[in-house]
Amino acid sequence: MIFISNKTPKIFGVFLLVYFFSLSGFSQSLYDNDLLTKEFHSGRREALRKLMDDSSVAVFFSGIIKTRSNDVDYEFHQDPNFYYLTGLNESNAILLIFKNEFILSDGSPTNEILFLQDRNPKMERWTGKLLGVDGTKSILGIQNAATSDAFDDFKIQFNSFKKVNYIEQKHAGYNLYYEQFQSKLSNAKINADTYSLKEYMAKLREIKLKEELDLVRKAISITCDGIKEAMKAIEPGMHEYDAEAIVEYVFKSKGAEDVGYPSIVGGGENSCILHYESNRKKLVEMDMLVSDVGAEYHGYSADVTRTYPVNGKFSEEQKLIYNIVYDAQAAGIAKCKPGEDFRAPHKAATEVVQKRLMELGIIKTPSESMKYFFHGTSHYLGLDVHDEGTHGRLQPNSVITVEPGIYIPFGSDCDEKWWGIGIRIEDDVLITETEPEVLSACVPKTVDEIEALMKQESLFNLMKK
């Protein structure tokens, strides 16, 4: 045991913090050799072909680099469909997937072609190396590749296909080559379909392969570790951003490249704001803290929410509301079985919330529950935090969230003892052939478990010494 006195320099405390985390497995290499393989991506392209109509082509556009301000860009994030099909993590690229054999201008047959940025050694000194055509062939396994500049001259008659599938690019600053594509379409009468491709990708991405589930599990495990560390460290006088910083430090230290979405860390009255992201409030004694966070690992996102008392002890009112949400979630999770309607978990959770809020006198009729529980309970999870899916019957190997909540803002039409209590509990659930598997069970959820964990010392407390 190493004793840290109040006289110990803070920098030494920070050094020890990093040292202890490295010993306890917090520091791991980003390059864990668990990236999706080129065989995975080629298999997904082949699965898409099986869904496509005969004599059709599907066109995909990569993500774009977006300007944050002046000459500073946001960190690039690949379009999920494009990554799913190629593994490429670069902008300004176009992928064409043919249902049937397509003959290139040199006479060679292919069923796919990728256009991507050419390498530029001068630019790579500023922004890093690109794959280029050769790297695409060797690393991604896509043998028919060309530079993006070649797409404008690419000899393809889109009117020769019975259907041209693509997803409209409606957001500002779309892919640089989208206009070229639109120009090629306008030169001849073609059967353009902007709907079917969304449907195809939803079917494919809803059902996760083992390699995907491995990455989802890793993202969730990292997320649970971050939440647990924040639970142990938080106390009155800290700020919402302190909890956010702790959570996201753990994410990075365990190899997550990014957050799956902006962290939602709301205390007190902010716990009643569903997608609160400011995270600036100073936390006081009786605040509850909603931590809705998710690490992104190799493209796949987690989405876990826990709500806990800043002072480490639930009040009686907080405990009553918390247990309603807990029981509502349990009812929802029980419905996460193959063949159940996608909305079955929400319906089950809502029934519990309605009954119990009426018992407490907070509402008088079931329909009034919408005042305090006003969002859906589930969404798919994967490459997007709100992932693609059919929203039909639940199927094995899909992952959904179950996240009921009760939010009673100040001034609500109920006894003021309930005011300012906002509680959400969210878990990531794998649909299996039998019983649901709660992938995020690695972080405590009951009142007693949370209070017990919050009594433990956090390594982040070393920074205060």
- C-alpha span between 188 and 160 (Å, rounded): 10
- C-alpha span between 383 and 302 (Å, rounded): 9
Amino acid at 255: G
From the list 215, 202, 177, the residue with the least C-alpha distance to 34 is 215
CB 424 within 8 A of CB 276: no
Whole-Å CA distances, 227 to 261, 346, 375, 385, 425: 15, 25, 23, 17, 12
3-class secondary-structure state, position 41: helix
Give the other-Cβ count within 10 Å of 1's Cβ.
2
CB 153 within 8 A of CB 183: no
CB 360 within 8 A of CB 415: no
CB 147 within 8 A of CB 116: yes
Instruction: Give the burial class of 265: count Cβ atoms within 10 A of its Cβ; 0-12 exposed, 13-18 middle, 19 or more buried.
Output: buried
CB 159 within 8 A of CB 189: yes
Buried b (16+ CB within 10 A) or exposed e, 168-199: ebeeeeebbbbebbeebbeeeebeebeebbee
pLDDT at residue 62, as a whole number: 94
- C-alpha span between 406 and 386 (Å, rounded): 21
The four Cα atoms 226, 228, 231, 234 give a dihedral, to 10 degrees, of: -40
Catalytically active residues, by annotation: 71, 275, 292, 303, 375, 379, 386, 403, 407, 424, 426
CB 402 within 8 A of CB 336: yes
- C-alpha span between 233 and 246 (Å, rounded): 8
Task: Give the single-character DSSP code of 139.
Answer: I
- C-alpha span between 268 and 410 (Å, rounded): 10
pLDDT at residue 463, as a whole number: 61
- C-alpha span between 400 and 356 (Å, rounded): 25
Match 């080129």 to its residue by tokens. 38
CB 11 within 8 A of CB 454: no
Q: Which residues pair with 422 in a beta bridge?
A: 407
Domains detected in the chain: 38-204 (3.40.350.10), 210-459 (3.90.230.10)
CB 114 within 8 A of CB 85: no
- C-alpha span between 332 and 347 (Å, rounded): 8
Longest dimension (CA), the chain: 78
Q: What count of residues does the chain have?
A: 465
- C-alpha span between 299 and 415 (Å, rounded): 45
* Beta carbons within 8 Å of 61's beta carbon, 6+ residues apart: 79, 82, 93, 94, 95, 166, 167, 169, 174, 175, 177, 178, 181
- C-alpha span between 147 and 94 (Å, rounded): 10
DSSP H helical ranges for 335-445: 344-359
Match 């306008």 to its residue by tokens. 186
Phi, psi of 6 (to 5 degrees): -65, -20
CB 321 within 8 A of CB 421: yes
The four Cα atoms 318, 319, 325, 327 give a dihedral, to 10 degrees, of: -170
Provide the CB-side half-sphere exposure for 126 (13 A, CA): 4
- C-alpha span between 102 and 417 (Å, rounded): 69
Match 């000459």 to its residue by tokens. 71
The DSSP secondary structure of 153-180, one letter per residue, reads T----GGGSSEEEE----SSS--TTHHH
> Mean pLDDT, consecutive 10-residue segments, the chain of 465 residues?
36 44 42 82 98 97 91 92 97 95 90 94 91 93 92 89 91 72 80 95 98 98 98 97 97 97 97 96 97 98 98 98 98 98 98 98 97 98 97 98 98 97 98 98 97 93 62
